[in-house]
Structure 1
Amino acid sequence: MTSVDALAALGWHHVYSGKVRDLFEHADHPTLMLVVASDRVSAFDHVLEPGIPSKGALLTQLSRWWFSRLAVPNHLADGPAVPAEVAERAMLVKRLDMHPIECVVRGYLTGSGWLEYQASGTVCGIALPEGLNDGDRLPEPLYTPAFKAELGEHDENITFERSVELVGLEVATALRDTSLAIFTTASQIALERGVILADTKFEFGTDPATGELTLADEVLTSDSSRYWDATLYAAGGPSRLDSFDKQIVRDWLAGHWDRTGTPPALPPEIVERTAARYRELIHRLTA
């Protein structure tokens, strides 16, 4: 019996699947949802095979840890017990009116931001000082929102002004300011544990019962964030930007796939190295 079948037998009915998470609802609990993190891994807007063992449980553990340390309303809810079949990788959450904005905060210049900076001296259209290098800390964290795309499509980077058009000035401002405040707090917490939070993304909704802006989805995980070892970063060299996330997967895929057709299966050693990085980050932050 699959986990979907087991949950259905308990009254939890599948309503949606994203790249890595599945949503369930229950007729007896209309204000709640069950978010189940799978072991699926995605890169370049594709779900890859095979998954990363225990990834769903690790991301759920880390999200719960961060939710407990952030002084902002979040979507975790009290209610019926999470079914044992998925207890390690599921969260019981409030049903929110989700905002279609992915709230990206960048503290360092890297990834797609570095590629854009090399071409135009900007990140998401925001001009930066000349002479920066890959991995450099930005003068101040940048809020670079994106419009959330449908499954299988690529999120679209947008300006703050465009986010105002989508959700209104009050909500857009709250999304920006709350995201930057969380990033500042989380960066300090991570650095105290020898880890740099280079960038991350948040999702928010409005709680229909209270009207509060509410942090949702996963938060500050290896899938939604880029973390670096602070000691290696300070020492410099090629390994300073080795991240505690699926960058291993991205790097391997970039060297073995031209982004057309179906991505190749991940080799066992890539799967295990990625799983080890996920586990190491959990240990670094929560031990």
Structure 2
Amino acid sequence: MNDTGELPGWTHVYSGKVRDLYVPTKLMTDDDSWTGDPLATSPVVLVVASDRVSAYDHLLEPAIPGKGALLTSLTHWWIDQLPEVPNHLAHPLDDRLEALELPEVPAEVADRATLCRTLDMFPIECVVRGYLTGGGYKEYVATGAIGGIPLPEGLENGDRLPEPIYTPAWKAPLGEHDENITYERTVELVGEIVAEQLRALSLEIFARASAIAEARGVILADTKFEFGADRATGIVTLADEVLTSDSSRYWDAAVFASAATPELRMASFDKQIVRDWLSANWEQSVSETPPTLPHEIVEQTAARYRELLERLEQPAGV
């Protein structure tokens, strides 16, 4: 499953479904009675993306080879395209970090590791939708709106929206499901000033990223961003994975324009292959444990992850 385990100079403090977090061991106390939160006290965290894959709230076997490195490269590539947006990457020459004499990032995880400044994260998933699909489409069919935002009548699955919309979600505690919320609810959670900054930044980044992707023959249908406050300056800062295949829905523009059915035109550059195979081969009511993924499904999924990065990295218009 590409589990990282212990890393020299770093102490493991948290594991999510697909990522592991570490802080510098030298910043941890040797006192066994210490109960501090290392993510609250350490100025940096090492985020290591694994090859693990999850779907329908389950970790699956086997892992997707190279997935962690591909998604890490994709985040770094997008951050390079967005130099005007404050981000969470930690730079060794930063005055606040230089004096810490941080340990080296171990070579065994270097291609899938990101050294980040710790932020005070906002409990909001900032979702932006440029196209009508997924859960948004289901909500539109039922209500004529998404997240309380009314949309024109007669839209079909996969249609481009008149303009991108911001439909935030509340980040639920670990083990619970995130909850779609209105913009007004975000104001209650983080205050009016921050709520407006989150909305404006999300829409601005989405517009910029959409143009970059379209110039390379790729449609960015929707995505989710996460932000936190810089602990020294309070500046709202882009964090976590950025515009990856796991946080975004990408389609091939040429296929989208020519395919005969919605299912074909919206074939995404992500783990949708895995979801589709599970839907056809796993009855959750019969077995709580998902089946092992076939080799060909694993290989096809890995190829889709690789193809997206290759497509985006090529010069615009090629």
Aligned partner letter, 1:44? Y
Contact 1:99–1:205 (CA<8 Å) still a contact in 2?
yes
Classify the secondary structure of the residue corresponding to 2:237. strand
2:278 corresponds to: 253
Mapped to 1, the partners of 2:233 and 2:128 lie a distance apart of: 26
2:32 corresponds to: none
Are 2:44 and 1:32 aligned? yes
Mapped to 2, the partners of 1:230 and 1:84 lie a distance apart of: 37
Contact 1:196–1:228 (CA<8 Å) still a contact in 2?
yes
Q: How does 1:150-229 map to 2 (within 5 A)?
A: 150-229=173-252
Mapped to 2, the partners of 1:183 and 1:28 lie a distance apart of: 39
**1:236-272, Cα deviation, whole Å (9 max, x unpaired):** 4232111111111111112223344222221111111
**Between 230-239 and 156-165, the greater mean CA deviation after superposition:** 230-239
Deviation at 1:31, TM superposition (A): 0.9
Aligned partner letter, 1:272? E
Deviation at 1:227, TM superposition (A): 0.4
Are 2:289 and 1:262 aligned? yes
Contact 2:3–2:50 (CA<8 Å) still a contact in 1?
no
Contact 2:128–2:164 (CA<8 Å) still a contact in 1?
yes
Aligned partner letter, 1:61? S
Aligned partner letter, 1:21? R
Contact 1:45–1:153 (CA<8 Å) still a contact in 2?
no
What TM-score does the superposition give when structure 1 sets the normalisation length?
A: 0.95
Deviation at 1:78, TM superposition (A): 1.8
2:88 corresponds to: 75
1:44 corresponds to: 56
Mapped to 1, the partners of 2:3 and 2:186 lie a distance apart of: 40
Aligned partner letter, 1:20? V
* Structure 1 residue ranges, 4+ long, deviating more than 4 angstroms after superposition: none
Which consecutive residues of structure 2, in runs of 5 or more, have no partner in the other structure?
28-41, 93-101
1:233 corresponds to: 256
Aligned partner letter, 2:55? A
Give the structure with higher Rg (CA).
Answer: 2
Classify the secondary structure of the residue corresponding to 1:61. helix
Classify the secondary structure of the residue corresponding to 2:74. helix
Contact 1:19–1:151 (CA<8 Å) still a contact in 2?
no
Are 2:62 and 1:59 aligned? no
Classify the secondary structure of the residue corresponding to 1:33. strand
Which consecutive residues of structure 1, in runs of 5 or more, have no partner in the other structure?
none
Mapped to 2, the partners of 1:143 and 1:45 lie a distance apart of: 25
**Between 211-220 and 118-127, the greater mean CA deviation after superposition:** 118-127
Deviation at 1:28, TM superposition (A): 3.8
Residues 3/43 of structure 1: CA separation in 2 closer, same or farther (3 Å cut): closer
Q: How does 1:266-281 map to 2 (within 5 A)?
A: 266-281=293-308
Deviation at 1:27, TM superposition (A): 4.1
Are 2:267 and 1:242 aligned? yes
Mapped to 2, the partners of 1:277 and 1:152 lie a distance apart of: 29
The RMSD of aligned alpha carbons is 1.5
Contact 2:4–2:50 (CA<8 Å) still a contact in 1?
no
